[in-house]
Amino acid sequence: MKKKRFSFIVWAGLIMILAACGNDKAQPVAINEATDTCETCNMAVIDNQHATQIILENGKSMVFDDLGCMYEWITKHENEKIDAEFVRDYHDKEWILVDDATYVYNQSLKTPMAYHVISFKDKATAEDFAAKNEGSEIMTAKNLADHDWKSNHDKEDHSHTHDENDGHSHSH
């Protein structure tokens, strides 16, 4: 009797492990600054808090230098089968699923292609940032899908570092 119960537990455990393996979620890949370019604007993608990423159902990973570039791509490729979309936390660069992040839009925010939207892994941090920066608007992933993605790239001087926190010069 004990042997049968042990066998059942082992088999149940194996089935659960195999089922978990079959349900692997798409994972973001590391940014390679030497070779990665934005799928939309073809600029170099810097490994910073503005980088975003899409994983297609076929496993292909695509990176973008600005959240707005990612949404421009999504709009133009609405028939593509997307497995996962990732953004990064503005403070610690941790990858976050688009639907799990909270966003801040502010015309004075400097982003690589001047779409002026940044992402945060938790809502409280986004709200705190918005409260300290006049003119900020809190957004969700649903708001992003409905957002009028307009770049002010042509109106800004992009010869300087885009964000004093990232330590990289990103010339456009």
The tokens for 84 are 């996962």
Residue 70 in any domain: the answer is: yes
Q: Which are the contacts of 166, defined by CB distance < 8 A and separation ≥ 6?
A: 46, 48, 49, 50
Residue 54 forms beta bridges with which residues?
62, 85
Residue 168 in any domain: the answer is: no
Give the pLDDT of the chain (172 residues) as one tens digit per residue.
555 555 555 444 444 444 444 446 889 999 999 999 999 999 999 999 999 999 999 999 999 999 999 999 999 999 999 999 999 999 999 999 999 999 999 999 999 999 999 999 999 999 999 999 999 999 999 998 888 877 766 544 443 333 434 433 333 3
Residue 138 in any domain: the answer is: yes
Residue 47 in any domain: the answer is: yes
pLDDT of residue 1: 53
Q: How far is 63 from 46, CA to CA, in rounded Å?
A: 10
Residue 128 belongs to domain spanning: 28-155
* pTM of the predicted structure, to 2 decimals: 0.74
Residue 41 in any domain: the answer is: yes
